[in-house]
Amino acid sequence: MAATLTTKFSLNLEALLALTTGPNAVTGNIAQSYLASWASGVGAAQADKIYAETRTIAASGTASLDLAGSLLDIFGTAITFARIKAIIVMPDALNTNDVIVGGAAANPFIGPFIDAAATALAQPAIKVKPGGLLINANVDATAWVVTPATGDILLLTNAAGGTSVAVTTILIGASA
């Protein structure tokens, strides 16, 4: 029996800005929400693969995530992504060091990082602070292409020495 995946992802932001000057109070409210819902499949607004793991990266260390073959799903089955639809990275709030997210120096997953020079040790990789959150989603059919053996390594780097970091990574994608 083939596995199916149904995914709902939502983010809600509510902010109230208040200014009191003398007897007057002025307030402004910002309410914004984002909802992505993917049915099981490989087309637009669809996904059929998910990877989720919390790992520890040693001081000044790296974690290479091979998107085409070495990651395991929650059933222990190897995942081969053809396309990535969402990248979520959540460093633990108790970390001392930042986590840098980008393509590896060899066989980099380019995805949202513009070009092959966007490795985790060079710009335009993304630095995520302890307790921070990186979310990047792409709901169209093509999403971000994974190229096995030449463009499939997403690199997480502990930005400094001294202490390890804990980081949760969730990848949602499609097999074709």
How do strand 46-47 and strand 153-158 relate by DSSP bridges? unpaired
Specify if 23 maps to a domain: no
* In a domain? residue 42: no
Handedness of CA 79, 54, 135, 9 (dihedral sign): positive
Q: What is the mean pLDDT of residues 27-48?
A: 93
pTM to 2 decimals? 0.89
Flag whether 20 is in a domain: no
Q: CATH number, domain at 150?
A: 2.60.120.10
Within a domain: 39: no
Residue 57 is assigned to a structural domain of this protein:
yes
Task: Identify whether 101 is part of a domain.
Answer: yes
Which of 22-26, 72-76, 79-83 is the least confident region? 22-26
Mean pLDDT over 156-173 rounds to 97
56 inside domain: yes
Non-local (6+) Cβ contacts of 70 within 8 A are 78
Taking only the tens place, the pLDDT of each residue in 84-132 is 999 999 999 999 999 999 988 889 898 998 765 555 555 568 999 999 9
Distance CA 83, CA 99 (A): 23
**Residue 69 to residue 77: CA distance in whole angstroms:** 10
Domain that holds residue 82: 49-174
Q: How many domains does one find in the chain?
A: 1
